């Protein structure tokens, strides 16, 4: 079965990498879908973020591909015969938000599988990584 792991990935964190690695064990193919999120203002466009993700993924992960996408995740899934969406959740706040998205995607015919964050990675978020990066650059 093919799975898609969507996100804005601004930037792609060790937690994201961990979810992809674990999804590889569950599915025949994993597509990292670098998406546009209208509620976020990423520092680069989705093509640049997709290139950055490709550069991070180990070359031996041949069952993983990276695609930039500007539409709904469920539309991508239907057009490319992807059977499931994978989402990582770090805490109950993530779970509440992700549950709403999962319900919408389920109503559109695509189920979601949640992978809980590894405890040592649960505090890592793209927002925190961006904030730390800006502070480091100012010094």
Residues catalogued as catalytic: 16, 40, 90, 126
Cis, peptide link before residue 121, omega less than 30° from 0:
no
- Rg, C-alpha atoms of the chain: 15
Closest CA to 18 of 88, 112, 100, 76: 88
Question: Was 123 annotated as part of a binding site?
Answer: yes
Question: Was 114 annotated as part of a binding site?
Answer: no
At 66, give phi and psi (nearest 5°): -125, 130
Question: Was 12 annotated as part of a binding site?
Answer: no
Question: Was 16 annotated as part of a binding site?
Answer: yes
Question: Was 122 annotated as part of a binding site?
Answer: yes
Question: Was 92 annotated as part of a binding site?
Answer: no
Question: Distance from CA of residue 73 to its chain's centroid?
Answer: 11
Bridge partner residues of 69 (DSSP): 35
Cβ contact 105:87 at 8 Å: no
Question: Was 124 annotated as part of a binding site?
Answer: yes
Question: Was 87 annotated as part of a binding site?
Answer: yes
Question: Was 89 annotated as part of a binding site?
Answer: yes
CA angle at residue 82 from 1 to 72, to 5 degrees? 155
Q: Output the known binding site.
A: 8-9, 16, 40, 73, 87-90, 98, 121-127
Q: Output the known binding site for substrate.
A: 8, 40, 73, 87
Q: Output the known binding site for ATP.
A: 8-9, 16, 88-90, 98, 121-127
């Amino acid at each position: 079965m093919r799975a898609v792991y969507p996100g804005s990935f601004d930037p792609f964190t060790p937690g994201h990498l961990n979810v992809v690695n674990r999804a590889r064990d569950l599915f025949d193919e994993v597509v990292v879908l670098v998406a546009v999120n209208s509620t976020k203002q990423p520092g680069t466009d989705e093509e640049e973020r997709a290139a950055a993700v490709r550069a991070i993924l180990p070359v031996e992960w041949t069952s993983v591909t990276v695609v930039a996408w500007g539409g709904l995740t469920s539309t991508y899934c239907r057009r490319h015969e992807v059977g499931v969406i994978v989402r990582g959740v770090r805490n109950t706040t993530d779970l509440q938000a992700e549950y709403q998205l999962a319900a919408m995607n389920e109503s559109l015919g695509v189920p979601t599988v949640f992978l809980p964050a590894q405890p040592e990675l649960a505090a890592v978020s793209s927002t925190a990584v961006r904030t730390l990066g800006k502070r480091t650059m100012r010094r």
